[in-house]
Chains A and B, each alone.
Chain A
């Protein structure tokens, strides 16, 4: 059983459409991170959120951390083929510092 549940598992959209990926848990996290992984490479950090209710924007990407610090979402506006990749959320709990638990990931495919 994954500590962090991501949905959907797979998302295929056309260039220019919007998409949202969700990351949910029953646990409270002191911080939550989003990574993007491309084939043959390690994940690359996109953002870290630490405050409940926090919203961060990175160009066309908007990240939100739930008020209770148990869930998060990633919204991409006007998706481009370069956004294709595996999106992973990772959380660290205050009682297990340093141990980042990852979700199973959402595979996003953006076609031209």
Chain B
């Protein structure tokens, strides 16, 4: 069956522009996670959704970051006024149980 998909796979943007990253979870998975992975670093937790609500937003680095999930399915992570330190791979994962299924990630480069 289909796994978690993310789009775009690569995004290059200029500093100050807004970007939207999309995640399509595995059908039926109620939980959805966003992580950020910088070069040489582990995964940094950003936010997770249970259904359409986000019980824990504590990982969002600043108020430039926001995320939403609609219909208990697709999620978008929006970064406003991007900065160079936002450059990283943004990973999405979905889960029905404690097993996280990750997508391939979106590589964001801010120039």
Contacts and interface: CB of A to CB of B under 8 A. Distances in A.
A binds B: yes
Interface residues of B, number: 25
Nearest to B102: A42
Please report whether the interface of chain B is mostly helix, strand, loop or mixed according to DSSP: strand
Given A99-B48, A103-B42, A48 B98 contact: yes
A104 interface: yes
Given A2-B42, A98-B48, A102-B42, A42 B98 contact: no
Max chain B Cβ within 10 angstroms of own Cβ: one of A35, A92, A96, A102: A102
A82 interface: no
Contacts of A92: 98
Max chain B Cβ within 10 angstroms of own Cβ: one of A40, A44, A100, A105: A100
Interface string B1-34: 0001000000000000000000000000001010
Interface residues of A, number: 25
B31 A42 contact: no
Given A98-B31, A98-B56, A43 B98 contact: no
A70 B63 CA distance: 33
Interface string A59-94: 000000000000000000000000000001010100
Contact of B98 (A33, A40, A88): A33
B108 interface: no
Contact of B50 (A42, A43, A98): A98
Contacts of B67: none
Interface of B: 4, 31, 33, 35, 40-45, 48, 50, 55-56, 59, 91, 93, 98-105
